Amino acid sequence: MTTDTQTRPSLLPDAHVDAARYDQMYAASIADPDAFWGEQGKRIDWIKPYTKVKNTSFGPGDVHIKWYEDGTLNVAANCIDRHLATRGDQTAIIFEPDEPTDPAQHITYNQLAENVGRFANVLKELGVRKGDRVVIYLPMIPEAAYAMLACARIGAVHSIVFAGFSPDALAARMNGCEAKLVITSDGAPRGGRVTELKDNVNKAMLHVTHDAKCLVVKRTGQQVAWVQDRDVWYDDIAARVSSDCPPEEMNAEDPLFILYTSGSTGQPKGVVHTTGGYLVYASLTHQMTFDYKDGDIFWCTADVGWVTGHSYIVYGPLANGAITLMFEGVPTYPDAGRFWAVCEKHKVNQFYTAPTAIRALMGKGPDYVNKYDLSSLKLLGSVGEPINPEAWNWYNTHVGKGRCPIVDTWWQTETGGHMMTPLPGAHELKPGAAQKPFFGVKPLVLEPTSGEVIEGNGVEGVLVLADSWPGQMRTVWGDHDRFVKTYFSDYKGYYFSGDGCRRDADGDYWITGRVDDVINVSGHRMGTAEVESALVAHEAVSEAAVVGYPHPIKGQGIYCYVTLMADETPTDELKKKLSDWVREEIGPIAKPDVIQWAPGLPKTRSGKIMRRILRKIAENDFGSLGDTSTLADPSVVDELIANRAKQ
C-alpha cells in the first residue's frame, strides 16, 4: 500500500492570471463584452481588421451569433506563417507513434509550413475549393494536423470522423455534409493492432450518395483494395506539387469545421464552428487555462476526432506558437505506464486527459507511474466528465506528486473551448468541481420545470448560459431550425447546455451530469436514440430502450432493454450478436455493456417510454421509482425488476 500524500497543489506562481487579475478580467468581460473581446481579438493576425465585435442574440425569436463579422483572416496563416520569423526552427508538433520503439518525430514550424502547403496543393489538385467539405478519417498521425490546416489554408471545411467509427457512421457523416473528398490512411496502428481504415472507407463508399474521391496517406504499407479514378495516393500527387500555397482570405464567420456529435434525439448533428471567434477563443483558453508559456511542452491525449483534439492539440496550441504532442497510441500499450513513459521521454509540462483514462490506469496500481520521472510536469488537466474524488486524488498524488494544479475543464463540442475551469494561478482547487466561469461566460442555474433563474449560492438546477462567447457553435450544418430547437427553445433566451449543476456556498460550480437522453461513455457522448435505432434495425428486435448507468471505469455504461420479435428465443448468444451488431453499426464506443430482455417496456398510455423508471432499474435502485400510476401496464415494471437480478 502506498500512502496518498493528499497534499493540495499550491497555485502556480507567476501564472498569466492570478486571483486579482481573474476577478478584474472576468468583471470587465461581463460588463463590456465588446471592449473585452475587441481587445482579445488582437491576439491573432487579421488580414482585414474587424470593426464590429459582437452581434449575437439568443432569442426568443431571432437566434444569431456573429463575432468579428467584418474581419478577414486565415487560420492556417495564424497557426503557422506568423510564427516563422520568430520560431521557424522551434518544434511545433512532437509525434509519438504507437510503437514505443519506433522513433518519435519533431516537426518544426518551418517543416509544418512546408507539409501543410504541399497538402493544401494536393487538395487543390483534387478539385477541392473554398467552401467545399472534406472528411478526414485518419489515425493520430501528423498528417491529420496537416490535413486540417491544409483545409483551413484553402478555405475548405473539414469534418473529422473519429477513426473508431464504423463505415456506416462514416457514410452518414459524408452524406450529411456532401463531402467532396475523404482523407484516410491504409491502416491505423493503435495499441499494437491495426484498424483497416481504407477498408472501412471502401465499405462506407457503397453508401455514399454523391460523387466523392478518396485520398490515401500511407501509414502501415499494407495491401489495400483500390478503386481506379476514385482513390489516389497522397504521395503520388505530393511528389509533383509545390509546397507553396498562399492562404485564402476568409471571413471571420466562414465555417472552419463541422464536427458531428450526439444529441438527445435523432442522428448526430453537424456542429458548425467558424473562423475568427473560434480561433480567438481556442487560443485564449489554451494559454490561460493551462498557463501555457513559450517553450512549454503541452500534451492533450485526446484524438483529433473529438473537439478536444481540434481545440487543444491543433488550433489553440498552434495559434499560440506552442509545442504540442500528438500520440498515436493508447494508455495501456505496451503497458499501463505508457502515458508516463511519454511524459518522461518528452519532458511534458502540461498533461491533459480524461477521468476514464485515470480510472483505468488507477486500477493497474501506482507502480506503473512511480517508476518514471515526472518532474517536468507543472499542470494537469481533466475533461469529458465529472472527475470523481478517488480519481482526482490518485491523479494528484501519483502523477502530480501533490504539486501540479489540476484544471477540471467543463465544456462541450458546441462551446468550442473551455467554459468553466479553475485557473491554476487564481483558484484554490476543489476536487470534482469545474469551479469558475471563463472570461465572458455567464452561467445561470435554472429551476428545471419553471425555468426560473435561481439566485444565490448553495443551489442546484439546470445549467444555461446567458450570453454568447466567441467560440460558440453557430448552427447545425444544413439545419438551423434544429440548432434553435435544441439549444434555445427549452429555456427561452438562454443557451441550454443539457447539463445539470450545483453552485456551492462559495459560488463555485459543480457539473452534475446530463439531464437529457445523452450518455457519457468514457468521456464520449452517445445519444440513447442512436443506440436504440441501431438495435431496432436488427431483424430479431422489435423494440429497444437505452439508458446510462454508473460504470466504475467508463463513468457511464450503456444499458439496453430489448424486446424481441415474437418468434425469437432470448439466448446469451443472441445478446452477443446484438452487442456486436451495435458495435458494427456505430463503432466500438457504442458497444452495449448490458442487454436485458424486456418482454414489455414501461410506457404511458400515450405510448411514451418512461426512461426515468428504466434508469432506476438499471441503477439497481428500486426504492424510488416514483409515480408508476400513469403506466399503461404497471406489471411490466415488476417483471423488469425481477429480471434485473439476472443481469
438 binds ligand WT7 (CB under 6 A): no
Taking the complex as a whole, how short is the minimal distance between the CB of residue 333 and ligand WT7, in angstroms? 23
CA–CA separation, 347 and 337 (whole Å) = 15
Show contacts with ligand WT7 in window 498-537 (CB under 6 A). 498-499, 511, 514, 520, 525
CB 309 within 8 A of CB 302: yes
Looking at 59-67, 129-137, 146-154, 383-391, which segment touches ligand WT7 (CB under 6 A)? 383-391
Looking at 13-21, 92-100, 381-389, 464-472, which segment touches ligand WT7 (CB under 6 A)? 381-389
Question: Binding-site residues for ATP, please?
Answer: 384-386, 408-413, 499, 514, 525
Show contacts with ligand WT7 in window 114-153 (CB under 6 A). none
- Smaller CB separation from ligand WT7, 313 or 640: 313
Looking at 59-67, 112-120, 380-388, 576-584, which segment touches ligand WT7 (CB under 6 A)? 380-388
Closest CA to 50 of 29, 32, 35, 72: 72
Using a 10 angstrom Cβ sphere, with 0-12 exposed, 13-18 middle and 19 or more buried, the burial of residue 319 is buried
Looking at 174-182, 408-416, 464-472, 527-535, which segment touches ligand WT7 (CB under 6 A)? 408-416
Looking at 8-16, 93-101, 495-503, 575-583, which segment touches ligand WT7 (CB under 6 A)? 495-503
443 binds ligand WT7 (CB under 6 A): no
CB 98 within 8 A of CB 338: no
529's grid cell: 436514440
- Smaller CB separation from ligand WT7, 146 or 306: 306
Taking the complex as a whole, how short is the minimal distance between the CB of residue 278 and ligand WT7, in angstroms? 14
Q: Please, which residues bridge with residue 511 across strands?
A: 501
- Smaller CB separation from ligand WT7, 50 or 439: 439
Tell me the residue type at 28.
Answer: A
Q: Please, what is the end-to-end C-alpha distance for the chain in angstroms?
A: 33
Residue number of the CB atom closest to ligand WT7: 413
Looking at 8-16, 113-121, 205-213, 384-392, which segment touches ligand WT7 (CB under 6 A)? 384-392
- Smaller CB separation from ligand WT7, 184 or 413: 413
List 172, 197, 434, 446, residue binding ligand WT7 (CB under 6 A): 434
List 167, 317, 386, 592, residue binding ligand WT7 (CB under 6 A): 386
CB 550 within 8 A of CB 618: no
- Smaller CB separation from ligand WT7, 237 or 586: 586
- Smaller CB separation from ligand WT7, 184 or 262: 262
CA distances from 236 to 150, 188, 232, 239, 572 (A): 17, 20, 7, 6, 50
Taking the complex as a whole, how short is the minimal distance between the CB of residue 385 and ligand WT7, in angstroms? 5
Taking the complex as a whole, how short is the minimal distance between the CB of residue 58 and ligand WT7, in angstroms? 18
Question: Binding-site residues for Mg(2+), please?
Answer: 536, 538, 541
List of residues 6+ apart from 111 with CB closer than 8 A: 92
Exposure string over 190-221, b if 16+ CB within 10 A, otherwise e = beeebbbbbbbbbebbeebeeebbbbbbebbe
CA–CA separation, 379 and 585 (whole Å) = 39
Taking the complex as a whole, how short is the minimal distance between the CB of residue 639 and ligand WT7, in angstroms? 32
Secondary structure E strands in 206-287: 213-217, 231-233, 250-251, 255-261, 269-274
State the number of binding residues for ligand WT7 (CB under 6 A): 21
Taking the complex as a whole, how short is the minimal distance between the CB of residue 390 and ligand WT7, in angstroms? 15
List 412, 533, 542, 628, residue binding ligand WT7 (CB under 6 A): 412
**Cell numbers 498552434: residue:** 318
Closest CA to 619 of 638, 597, 594: 594
- Smaller CB separation from ligand WT7, 477 or 581: 477
CB 100 within 8 A of CB 341: yes
Show contacts with ligand WT7 in window 291-320 (CB under 6 A). 307-308
CB 380 within 8 A of CB 340: no
Cis bond leading into 334, ω under 30°? yes
Q: 3-state class of 326 per DSSP?
A: strand
Contact residues toward ligand WT7 (CB under 6 A) are 261, 307-308, 383-386, 408-413, 434, 497-499, 511, 514, 520, 525
